[in-house]
């Protein structure tokens, strides 16, 4: 067995969780007078599956949007790989290696699955416009390399049979998988999943859970996900952040969170003052 | 070329076979001429085993493609020379791992080159490959692995690894497992678990250490050593391990290759279960004998696309596959534009009229021929291409009776689709239809070197070089199936048609029974007539020893679902659709039409269906109601749904029932339903008698 560094630990199922890769410090996000997020801090460690849960309107998606750079918080700091992150455009965040999927699927409906997944590789393509247009030199070489990579992901997510199918013709569950493929194609160091299992049946949920675990296992991808299905969250994640009304009410392993009185109240419903 | 050289040196053909053939029916002249080529009881040129054929192919066809598999969107190819190296590396790796001569090696996975290599590598080291259905539930797998005492298993991925680990504690002799796809397995305990590529790498590294051992083991293989052991699907009782020798496999491959004139240029798509004898003969026996290329699809879901890309020249499918494809063509035509729709039906009607005759080389008028040519350009050609049948020279269907409509549809397009009749115990071939003598209701003439006799009870018996060695560890069953002279009882009842000499199958001999009034009860005969309707997937007839027949019916969810969509009939599940009054009406009309056609045959008129119901669940292999090859287990069904059978024989018009179902992951649940019992019109027997 290799030596585990001091800032890492090994989980029960044998995965190594590394040091903190992203840290949110006292984030507050306001839309006019509405406070979506109030003073929230938590961290994401390398190689872990980190879930953010909470009732509707708790601010989960806003939190994810802060991480991916869609929203810039009024207060607080985002630390990524040991450095404070300045205010950034979403594409700059993506260039830093943070990829995401969306709650309500944002794919190019008219394009094939393959082309959609290829767009996830844009960050790895450097050929200029003329090279691309003539498909010469660097453009050709890059396309071949990237296609090979994309094919590995298509194989991994078992979507070979729809490779050439336009996305618009696919059922919901498969679209979700294609979106995951596109995010994965970017070789992210952190992958943000916004409700990857919403609207799926039990079988599709089981498939998706398996893909998430395999992704984490195979590529060592750090995953932060929002999910409503408590069973899934508790099974998948290493640590869970619980939000309610924009505030953090719990943070810890699934077992700790499950026994946290505030969390139980938020989910079972207790009169708020 | 090589074939000529080989067969010319064979001169020890037993001649009495031809005489005994003549005793039972006229031998077609075409076969007579082949006799001295086709019959060799001794292997020649050292080609007594599959590994020996591999070495010959690697020398003779070094740069010819042997295997292709679509992976990562591209057809990956291995030539015969590369194949030999891959197999050798694996064989050395297996020796290195401790595999000994006579060990059984289970092979569990879908059709992939790696598994075909595994089988030949196992043979090379003197072990016996045992391919297992990869969708078997854990307990079925446990029975097979326990029965043959497999010490090793080569499996596909995490799913299969988990299954074997689950049963491993009951398998005391089990030693090592090798997997191909490492995904999700990194964290598993690797004491008894190995990655395929690592075993090959270890084999290459240990080349000098083991190569003499490997060569010695390989040279010990004879025509009588075991080539493969295949478990029968078992319509009754536990599966039996059929031991096939090199002689069985190579002789059968050789004879069938000559019968259809197959050469090294053929392309086949290997997509049928590896545990089935047919796949072993086509993808291993015939491929190694002739040197043709075996193509493996990317995944089960991409089979149709891959079929189209490869365009096989030699194709094999059970009737079910042809049915599914025809249904999907018809459904898609419904969505086509008016112009296309009318053109399609116009030319298909023409093809129906003359297509079959043109294929059989019968005289057809010039105008009709020209119109057929035009149709070929506009409709048949593109359609064949879409289906992936553009290049099919020889196509076979077997396993079950095929609907005459379906059969004629493909033949009228100009696809040389034929029927054959075979068994695991016969190394496939018992009878086959020669080109130009193809009909939907027969299974053809005896295959080369096969003798057939029909006993007084009507059961078909055969004797051939393909007759299996034994059922493994089961001398009683061996003795009751194969007699001292080598005749094997098929368990099927049938007769030779006068004039043509073609064999016709009536039913499983044990299923043929008697009705209360003594008339013949042949369930399959009636069920097949029902199943030829696209909206009926399965039918089960009851009536043995009773005064009248009743039936269970399963609807075809694809066909009926599509019909429902078109007619704005909403449904949420199979169960709901199966209980819809309009569906029941249409099924009833089919049943009544079948009754009329059954009544036409005075011998079987008693088998008309008096009452029927549409089952609330699909019969499923996971629930034990069917075999893995999707044949109905009659006894199980009768027992499990006893309440329904009783209700059909009772007077009620509906019945409530609860049935236990098993999900794919092994969990159990139950479904309950209230089923309509329907009366069907029957043609009165009395009027028949009066007419006579």
Residue of B nearest to A157 (CA): B183
List the beta strands (DSSP E) in B160-238: 176-179, 193-195, 226-231
Q: Taking each helix axis from N to C terminus, what angle separates B207-219 and B196-205, rounded to the nearest 10 degrees?
A: 100
| CA of B58 vs chain A CAs: smallest distance (Å) | 30
Burial of A259 from C-beta contacts in 10 A (0-12 / 13-18 / 19+): exposed
CA torsion sign for B176, B178, B184, B190 is: positive
Q: For the range B461-464, what are the long-range contacts, defined as Cβ-Cβ under 8 Å and sequence gap of 24 or more?
A: B461/B487, B461/B488, B461/B489, B461/B490, B462/B426, B462/B430, B462/B487, B462/B488, B462/B490, B463/B487, B463/B488, B464/B252, B464/B426, B464/B429, B464/B430
Strand order through the sheet with B488-496: B451-454, B459-463, B488-496, B503-508
Residue in A148, A210, A217 nearest the CB of B72: A148
pLDDT at A109 over 60: yes
CA torsion sign for B359, B364, B369, B372 is: negative
pLDDT at B676 over 50: yes
Strands B65-71, B104-108: parallel, antiparallel or unpaired by DSSP? unpaired
At B110 the pLDDT is 94
Residues 6+ apart with CB under 8 A from B658: B670, B671, B672
**Contact: A155, B74; criterion CB under 8 Å:** no
CA torsion sign for B624, B629, B635, B641 is: positive
**CA B121/CA B50 separation, integer angstroms:** 10
Structural domain spans, chain A: 1-97+188-273, 107-186
Residue of B69, B72, B183, B184 for testing the chain A interface, max A β-carbons within 10 Å: B72
Residue of A155, A162, A174, A207 for testing the chain B interface, max B β-carbons within 10 Å: A155
Are residues B552 and B641 in contact, defined by beta-carbon separation less than 8 angstroms? yes
Residue of B nearest to A146 (CA): B72
At B37 the pLDDT is 36
Residue in A151, A163, A214 nearest the CB of B183: A214
At B55 the pLDDT is 94
Residue B375 gets the label, from left (phi > 0), alpha (psi -120 to 50) or beta, of alpha
At B155 the pLDDT is 96
Residue of B nearest to A206 (CA): B665
**CA B349/CA B408 separation, integer angstroms:** 12
Cα distance between the two ends of chain B: 61
Interval B94-125: pLDDT, tens: 999 999 999 999 999 999 999 999 999 999 99
Are residues B625 and B633 in contact, defined by beta-carbon separation less than 8 angstroms? yes
At B41 the pLDDT is 40
Q: A1-97+188-273: what fold?
A: Rossmann fold (3.40.50)
Query: What SS3 class is residue B209?
Result: helix
The size of chain B, in residues, is 692
Displacement of CA B455 from its chain's centroid (Å): 26
At B87 the pLDDT is 97
Q: Give the number of other Cβ atoms within 10 Å of residue B318's Cβ.
A: 18
At B7 the pLDDT is 35
- What does the pLDDT average to over B270-279? 93
Residue in A163, A214, A218 nearest the CB of B73: A163
| CA of A156 vs chain B CAs: smallest distance (Å) | 8
The size of chain A, in residues, is 273
Residues above pLDDT 90, as percent of chain A: 40
Average pLDDT, chain B: 86
For residue B79, what pLDDT band results from cuts at 50, 70 and 90? very high
At B2 the pLDDT is 38
How many beta-carbon pairs below 8 A join chains A and B? 37
The domain B50-254+271-290 having CATH identifier 3.40.50.12780: the answer here is yes
| CA of A142 vs chain B CAs: smallest distance (Å) | 17
Are residues A141 and A112 in contact, defined by beta-carbon separation less than 8 angstroms? no
Residue in B73, B186, B302 nearest the CB of A217: B186
**Contact: B184, A151; criterion CB under 8 Å:** no
**CA B19/CA B26 separation, integer angstroms:** 10
- What does the pLDDT average to over B631-650? 89
Are residues B58 and B163 in contact, defined by beta-carbon separation less than 8 angstroms? no
Burial of B453 from C-beta contacts in 10 A (0-12 / 13-18 / 19+): middle
Residue in A14, A151, A217 nearest the CB of B73: A151
- What does the pLDDT average to over B180-189? 87
pLDDT at A237 over 60: yes
Torsion angle, CA of B374/B379/B385/B388, rounded to 10 degrees?
A: -130
Are residues B49 and B227 in contact, defined by beta-carbon separation less than 8 angstroms? yes
Are residues B654 and B675 in contact, defined by beta-carbon separation less than 8 angstroms? yes
For residue A272, what pLDDT band results from cuts at 50, 70 and 90? low
Interval B211-248: pLDDT, tens: 999 999 999 999 999 999 999 876 567 889 999 999 99
| CA of B73 vs chain A CAs: smallest distance (Å) | 7
Angle, CA of A252, A253 and A259, to the nearest 5°: 85
Residues above pLDDT 70, as percent of chain A: 96
| CA of B539 vs chain A CAs: smallest distance (Å) | 29
Listed residue (A225, A216, A235) closest to A195, CA to CA: A225
| Cβ contacts of A154 on chain B, cutoff 8 Å | 72-73
| Cβ contacts of A148 on chain B, cutoff 8 Å | 72
**CA B684/CA B560 separation, integer angstroms:** 31
Residue of B nearest to A155 (CA): B72
- Chain A: which residues have CB within 8 Å of chain B? 13-15, 114, 147-148, 151-152, 154-156, 158, 160-161, 163, 210, 213-214, 217-218
Are residues B405 and B383 in contact, defined by beta-carbon separation less than 8 angstroms? no
**Predicted complex ipTM:** 0.76
Burial of B179 from C-beta contacts in 10 A (0-12 / 13-18 / 19+): buried
Name the residue with higher pLDDT: B406 or B153: B153
How much is the CA Rg of chain B, to the nearest whole Å? 26
* A220-234, B260-274, B366-380, B506-520: the lowest-pLDDT one: B506-520
pLDDT at B67 over 90: yes
**CA B221/CA B199 separation, integer angstroms:** 23
**CA A215/CA A236 separation, integer angstroms:** 12
Strands B104-108, B128-132: parallel, antiparallel or unpaired by DSSP? parallel
According to DSSP H, which parts of B548-684 are helical?
557-566, 574-578, 581-599, 634-640, 642-649
pLDDT at B674 over 70: yes
Q: B513-691: what fold?
A: GMP Synthetase; Chain A, domain 3 (3.30.300)
Interval B188-204: pLDDT, tens: 889 999 999 999 999 99
Please provide residue B494's backbone torsions phi and psi, each rounded to the nearest 5 degrees.
Answer: -170, 180
Residue in B72, B186, B298 nearest the CB of A152: B72
**Contact: A151, B183; criterion CB under 8 Å:** no
Displacement of CA B201 from its chain's centroid (Å): 35
- What does the pLDDT average to over B656-676? 82
**Contact: B186, A152; criterion CB under 8 Å:** no
B509, two tokens: 């001999």
For residue A271, what pLDDT band results from cuts at 50, 70 and 90? low
Average pLDDT, chain A: 87
Full DSSP string of B370-425: HHHHHHIIIIIHHHHHHHT-TT-SEEEE-SS---HHHHHHHHHTT--EEEEEEEGG
Listed residue (A3, A10, A100) closest to A61, CA to CA: A100
Burial of B381 from C-beta contacts in 10 A (0-12 / 13-18 / 19+): middle
At B167 the pLDDT is 92
Listed residue (B444, B490, B501, B495) closest to B467, CA to CA: B490
| Cβ contacts of A151 on chain B, cutoff 8 Å | 72-74
Are residues B417 and B395 in contact, defined by beta-carbon separation less than 8 angstroms? yes
Structural domain spans, chain B: 2-38, 50-254+271-290, 513-691
At B44 the pLDDT is 53
pLDDT at B16 over 60: no
For residue B86, what pLDDT band results from cuts at 50, 70 and 90? very high
Residue of A nearest to B73 (CA): A151
**Contact: B184, A147; criterion CB under 8 Å:** no
Q: Which residues pair with A49 in a beta bridge?
A: A223
pLDDT at B690 over 50: no
pLDDT at A245 over 90: no
Residue of A13, A47, A160 for testing the chain B interface, max B β-carbons within 10 Å: A160
**Contact: B305, A152; criterion CB under 8 Å:** no
Query: What SS3 class is residue B337?
Result: coil
Strands B226-231, B241-245: parallel, antiparallel or unpaired by DSSP? antiparallel
Q: Which residues pair with B679 in a beta bridge?
A: B611
List the beta strands (DSSP E) in B209-296: 226-231, 241-245, 267-269, 293-296
Residue in B186, B187, B298 nearest the CB of A160: B298
Interval B586-610: pLDDT, tens: 999 999 999 998 887 777 788 899 9
According to the per-residue pLDDT averaged within each range, which of A119-133, B242-256, B359-373 is highest?
A: B242-256
Interval B535-577: pLDDT, tens: 898 999 998 888 889 999 999 988 898 889 888 888 888 888 9
**Contact: B184, A163; criterion CB under 8 Å:** no
Interval A1-53: pLDDT, tens: 456 677 788 877 778 888 899 999 999 999 888 889 999 999 999 999 999 98
Residue of A nearest to B303 (CA): A161
User: Which contiguous run of DSSP H or E holds residue A93?
Assistant: helix A90-95
At B362 the pLDDT is 87
B247, two tokens: 């002689």
**Contact: B302, A217; criterion CB under 8 Å:** no
Are residues A260 and A250 in contact, defined by beta-carbon separation less than 8 angstroms? yes
| Cβ contacts of B74 on chain A, cutoff 8 Å | 151
**CA A135/CA B650 separation, integer angstroms:** 76
For residue B25, what pLDDT band results from cuts at 50, 70 and 90? very low
């Amino acid at each position: 067995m290799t030596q585990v560094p001091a800032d890492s630990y090994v989980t029960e199922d044998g995965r190594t969780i590394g040091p903190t890769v992203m840290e949110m410090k006292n984030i507050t996000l306001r839309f006019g007078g509405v406070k979506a997020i109030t003073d929230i801090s938590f961290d994401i460690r390398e190689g872990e599956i980190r879930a953010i849960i909470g009732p509707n309107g708790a601010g989960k998606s806003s939190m994810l949007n802060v991480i991916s750079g869609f929203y810039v918080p009024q207060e607080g700091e985002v630390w990524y790989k040991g450095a404070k992150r300045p205010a950034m455009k979403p594409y700059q965040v993506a260039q830093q290696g943070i990829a995401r999927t969306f709650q309500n699927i944002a794919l190019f409906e008219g394009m094939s699955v393959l082309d959609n997944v290829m767009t996830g590789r844009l960050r790895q393509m450097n050929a200029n416009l003329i090279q691309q247009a003539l498909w010469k030199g660097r453009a050709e070489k890059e396309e071949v390399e990237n296609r090979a990579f994309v094919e590995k992901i298509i194989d991994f997510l078992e979507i070979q049979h729809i490779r050439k199918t336009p996305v618009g013709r696919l059922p919901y569950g498969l679209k979700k998988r294609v979106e995951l493929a596109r995010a994965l194609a970017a070789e992210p160091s952190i992958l943000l999943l916004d409700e990857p299992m919403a609207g799926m049946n039990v079988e599709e949920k089981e498939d998706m859970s398996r893909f998430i675990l395999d992704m984490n296992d195979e590529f060592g991808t750090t995953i932060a996900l929002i999910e409503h299905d408590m069973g899934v969250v508790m099974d998948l994640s290493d640590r869970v952040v619980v939000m309610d009304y924009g505030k953090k009410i719990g943070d810890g392993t699934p077992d700790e969170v499950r026994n946290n009185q505030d969390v139980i109240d938020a989910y079972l419903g207790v009169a708020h003052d | 070329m090589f074939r000529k050289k080989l067969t010319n040196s064979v001169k020890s053909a037993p001649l009495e076979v031809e005489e005994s053939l003549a005793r039972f029916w006229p031998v077609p002249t075409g076969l007579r001429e082949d006799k001295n080529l086709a019959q060799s009881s001794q292997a020649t040129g050292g080609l007594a085993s599959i590994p020996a054929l591999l070495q010959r192919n690697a020398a003779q066809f070094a740069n010819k493609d042997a295997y292709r598999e679509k992976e990562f969107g591209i057809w990956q190819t291995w030539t015969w020379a590369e194949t030999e190296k891959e197999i050798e590396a694996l064989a050395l790796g297996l020796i290195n791992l401790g595999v000994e001569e006579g060990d059984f090696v289970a092979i569990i996975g879908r059709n992939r080159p790696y598994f075909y290599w595994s089988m030949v590598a196992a043979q090379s080291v003197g072990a016996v490959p045992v391919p297992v259905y990869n969708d078997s539930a854990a307990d079925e797998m446990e029975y097979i692995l326990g029965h043959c005492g497999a010490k090793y298993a080569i499996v596909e991925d995490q799913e299969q690894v988990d299954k074997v680990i689950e049963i491993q504690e009951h398998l005391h002799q089990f030693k090592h497992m090798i997997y191909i796809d490492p995904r999700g397995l990194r964290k598993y305990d690797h004491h008894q678990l190995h990655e395929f590529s690592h075993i090959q790498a270890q084999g290459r590294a240990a080349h000098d250490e083991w190569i003499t051992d490997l060569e010695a083991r390989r040279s010990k293989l004879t025509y009588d050593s075991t080539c493969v052991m295949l478990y029968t699907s078992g319509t009754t009782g536990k599966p039996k391990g059929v031991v096939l020798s090199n002689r069985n496999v190579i002789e059968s491959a050789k004879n069938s290759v000559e019968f259809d004139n197959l050469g090294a240029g053929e392309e086949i798509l290997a997509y049928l279960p590896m545990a089935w004898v047919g796949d072993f003969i086509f993808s291993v026996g015939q491929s190694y004998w002739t040197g043709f290329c075996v193509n493996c699809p990317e995944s089960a879901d991409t089979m149709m696309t891959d079929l189209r890309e490869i365009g096989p020249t030699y194709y094999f499918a059970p009737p079910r596959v042809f049915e599914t494809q025809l249904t999907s063509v018809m459904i898609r035509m419904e969505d086509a534009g008016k112009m296309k729709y009318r053109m399609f039906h116009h030319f298909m009607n023409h093809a129906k009229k003359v297509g079959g005759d043109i294929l059989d080389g019968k005289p057809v008028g010039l105008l009709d021929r020209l119109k057929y040519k035009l149709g070929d350009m506009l409709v048949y050609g593109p359609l064949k291409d879409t289906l992936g049948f553009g290049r099919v020279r020889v196509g076979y269907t077997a396993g079950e009776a095929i609907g005459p409509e379906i059969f004629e549809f493909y033949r009228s397009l100009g696809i040389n689709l034929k029927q054959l009749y075979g068994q695991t115990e016969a190394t496939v071939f018992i009878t086959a239809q020669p080109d130009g003598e193809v009909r939907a209701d027969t299974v053809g003439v005896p295959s080369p070197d096969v003798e057939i006799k029909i006993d007084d009870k009507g059961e078909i018996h055969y004797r051939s070089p393909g007759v299996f060695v034994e059922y493994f560890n089961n001398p009683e069953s061996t003795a009751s199936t194969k007699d001292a002279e080598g005749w094997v009882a098929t368990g099927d009842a049938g007769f030779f048609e006068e004039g043509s000499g073609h064999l016709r199958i009536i039913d499983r001999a044990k299923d043929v029974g008697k009705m209360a009034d003594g008339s013949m009860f042949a369930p399959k005969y009636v069920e097949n007539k029902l199943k030829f309707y696209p909206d009926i997937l399965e039918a089960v007839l009851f009536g043995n020893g009773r005064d009248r027949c009743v039936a269970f019916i399963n609807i075809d969810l694809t066909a009926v679902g599509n019909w429902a969509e078109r007619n704005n009939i909403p449904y949420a599940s199979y169960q709901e659709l199966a209980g819809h009054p309009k569906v029941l009406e249409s099924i009833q009309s089919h049943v009544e039409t079948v009754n009329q056609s059954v009544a036409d045959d005075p011998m079987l008129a008693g088998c008309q269906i008096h009452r029927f119901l549409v089952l609330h669940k699909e019969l499923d292999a996971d629930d034990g109601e069917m075999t893995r090859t999707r044949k109905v287990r009659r006894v199980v069904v009768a027992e499990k749904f006893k309440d329904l059978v009783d209700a059909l024989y009772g007077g009620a018009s509906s019945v409530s029932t609860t049935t236990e179902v098993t999900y794919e992951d092994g969990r159990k649940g139950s479904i309950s339903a209230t089923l309509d019992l329907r009366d069907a019109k029957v043609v009165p027997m009395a009027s028949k008698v009066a007419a006579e």
